[in-house]
Structure 1
């Protein structure tokens, strides 16, 4: 398993556990992350991205599972993932697949590009 895939799987585990400290350790200080909740502008920097994750966890109950790696380069992984999103009271809102490109710099997650599905 590549170091990038290992880091991504660790980040998925932290995300699904709502472990903000675990997510923080996977993010590059200059991370740029899209607003996947409200489709607003991207969040720039670790602190802004962490605040967005805290907001997501306070609003919905997301779970993500890595289905397969589509392609890999020295600084990116294109993956297919399964997203399940529930309301805080357990109502299933969506269960869908997405194709995503995770970008890496200095061995940490530095960004996300949504190719399709979200």
Structure 2
């Protein structure tokens, strides 16, 4: 397993605990991240990305399982993942597969591109 794959798996483990601040150590200071709550908005900068995750965790309980990780380049990984998302009261909101490309800079996550399934 490559160092980027190992780091991404560790980030997913923290994400699944719904610890937005715990994700800070994985996110590049100049990251750009799509807003999964508001489709036509992007979060720019580490603080904005962490705030986005905090908003997600305040209203939803996502649980993501990696199915496949493909090393695209030395600075990107494409994954297929199963997203199970529940509302705060435990109702299934979404259960789907997604294909995503994660981008890295200086060994940290610097962005995510949604390819399908979100």
Which TM-score applies when normalising by structure 2? Answer: 0.96
Residue correspondences, number: 118
Work out whether 1:60 is the aligned partner of 2:60.
Answer: yes
Deviations 1:14-47 (A, max 9, x none): 1000122321000000000000122131100000
Of Structure 1 and Structure 2, the greater strand share is in: 2
SS in 2 for 1:57: helix
Structure 1 residue runs without a partner (length 5+)? none
- Alignment-derived partner of residue 24 in structure 2: 24
- List alignment gaps of at least 5 residues for structure 2: none
- 1:71, CA displacement in angstroms? 3.7
TM-score, length-scaled by structure 1 = 0.96
**SS at structure 1 position matched to 2:36:** coil
Map Cα deviations across residues 74-108 of structure 1 (whole Å, 9 max, x no partner): 00001100000101000011110000000000000
